[in-house]
């Protein structure tokens, strides 16, 4: 008979994303429902190394589902990249009798979980908490929907002033390796150009179309750029356009960290709740070293290693939609 897990730990690690609190709440309450004790680990892997670990109860997660950020705090931790750091972390987990971990974070955090599991055999289960949606095997990640809606709201406002003045606006959104925020927010705001890391930017093509607009005296143009675009982000694009369109008024707006904050959207609260619930159920069933994804509205359990290796790919269909609708 399978050993019944009695104590688990939960942590948020790496980049924060709205909805992480809803996920923590779901993990804690599902575990307690099954008489599993839950320990919160503060500041991700750093808290594991520093022994910043405390017992949670149902009240510890009261009134947090609607809050952005993470009550457990998050961090990036260099020491955990080394076997000695992970050994220290494992020792503290053992001290607390923690037999399984739920790690809410991005692919870096999953890489850390793989290493901890491989070296010390602690069962880990991941919840994809990242605004970038740069993990394959799941249609959603916790925080993406909120971030993209924040971007859309901001871009809509910028478009109003852009139209009033006949300006070219270049808006940089988050996404170092993935263009999903740019793609979704760009389509939703009717951007003329969307520049993403997954596709080589043809700057000459953009210049030509703007020169054509200049001839027609219609110099309004919205360009959404992911920060990791191969051309080098919004400021580089601005420089290049100014060289070629000396008369145009070109403005840049970098949305930055507002995309990470704020109350999570309904969608993020719901997916975080579903994923958190299934993470605990999965640990109980002995299914671990996977992360919980949702695909075609069904739970999908993907090996943590696969999440690390395969980044999401943007299909040609999306790029075709951008090309046709913006023309």
Q: What is the contact surface with ligand ADP in residues (CB under 6 A)? A: 13-15, 45, 76-77, 80-81, 105-109, 111-112, 115, 130
Distances (CA, A) of 85 to 47, 81, 114, 116, 200: 11, 7, 14, 10, 39
**Minimum distance between the CB of residue 34 and ligand ADP, rounded to whole angstroms?**
27
**Minimum distance between the CB of residue 45 and ligand ADP, rounded to whole angstroms?**
4
Give the nearer residue to ligand ADP in terms of CB position, either 110 or 169: 110
Give the nearer residue to ligand ADP in terms of CB position, either 82 or 202: 82
Judge residue 1's burial from the number of C-beta atoms within 10 Å of its C-beta, 0-12 exposed, 13-18 middle, 19 or more buried. Answer: exposed
Give the nearer residue to ligand ADP in terms of CB position, either 59 or 78: 78
Q: What is the DSSP letter of 316?
A: H
- Nearest partner of 267 among 33, 31, 17, 12, judged by Cα: 17
290: number of CA atoms within 13 Å, CB side?
20
CA distance 156 to 162: 10
The catalytic residue positions are 132
Judge residue 18's burial from the number of C-beta atoms within 10 Å of its C-beta, 0-12 exposed, 13-18 middle, 19 or more buried. Answer: buried
**Minimum distance between the CB of residue 130 and ligand ADP, rounded to whole angstroms?**
6
CA distance 17 to 270: 14
3-state secondary structure of 140: coil
Give the nearer residue to ligand ADP in terms of CB position, either 28 or 124: 124
Give the nearer residue to ligand ADP in terms of CB position, either 13 or 289: 13
CA distance 22 to 24: 6
CA distance 171 to 149: 15
**Minimum distance between the CB of residue 99 and ligand ADP, rounded to whole angstroms?**
21
**Minimum distance between the CB of residue 309 and ligand ADP, rounded to whole angstroms?**
12
- Chain position whose Cβ is nearest to ligand ADP: 108
CA distance 72 to 243: 48
């Amino acid at each position: 008979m399978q050993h019944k897990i009695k104590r688990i730990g939960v942590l948020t690690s790496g980049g924060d994303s709205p909805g992480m609190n809803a996920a923590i709440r779901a993990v804690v309450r599902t575990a307690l429902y099954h008489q599993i004790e839950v320990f919160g680990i503060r500041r991700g892997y750093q808290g594991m190394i520093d022994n910043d670990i405390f017992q949670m109860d149902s009240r510890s997660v009261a009134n947090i589902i609607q809050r952005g950020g993470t009550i457990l705090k998050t961090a990036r931790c260099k020491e955990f990249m080394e076997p000695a750091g992970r050994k220290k972390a494992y020792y503290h987990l053992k001290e607390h009798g923690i037999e399984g971990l739920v790690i809410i974070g991005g692919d870096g955090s999953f890489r850390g979980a793989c290493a901890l599991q491989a070296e010390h055999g602690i069962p880990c289960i991941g919840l994809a908490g990242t605004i970038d949606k740069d993990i394959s095997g799941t249609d959603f990640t916790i925080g993406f929907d909120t971030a993209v809606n924040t971007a859309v709201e901001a871009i809509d406002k910028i478009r109003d002033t852009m139209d009033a003045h006949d300006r070219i606006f270049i808006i940089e959104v988050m996404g170092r390796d993935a263009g999903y925020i740019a793609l979704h927010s760009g389509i939703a705001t009717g951007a003329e150009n969307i520049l993403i890391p997954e596709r080589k930017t043809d700057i000459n093509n953009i210049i030509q179309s703007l020169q054509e607009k200049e001839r027609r005296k219609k110099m309004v143009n919205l360009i959404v750029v992911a920060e990791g675009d191969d051309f080098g982000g919004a400021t580089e694009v601005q420089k290049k356009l100014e060289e070629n369109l000396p008369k145009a008024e070109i403005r840049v707006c970098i949305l930055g960290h507002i995309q990470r904050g704020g109350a999570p959207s309904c969608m993020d609260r719901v997916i975080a709740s579903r994923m958190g619930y299934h993470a605990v159920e999965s640990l109980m069933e002995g299914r671990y070293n996977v992360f919980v994804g949702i695909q075609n509205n069904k739970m999908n359990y993907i090996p943590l290693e696969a999440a690390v290796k395969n980044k999401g790919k943007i299909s040609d269909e999306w790029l075709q939609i951008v090309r046709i609708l913006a023309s």
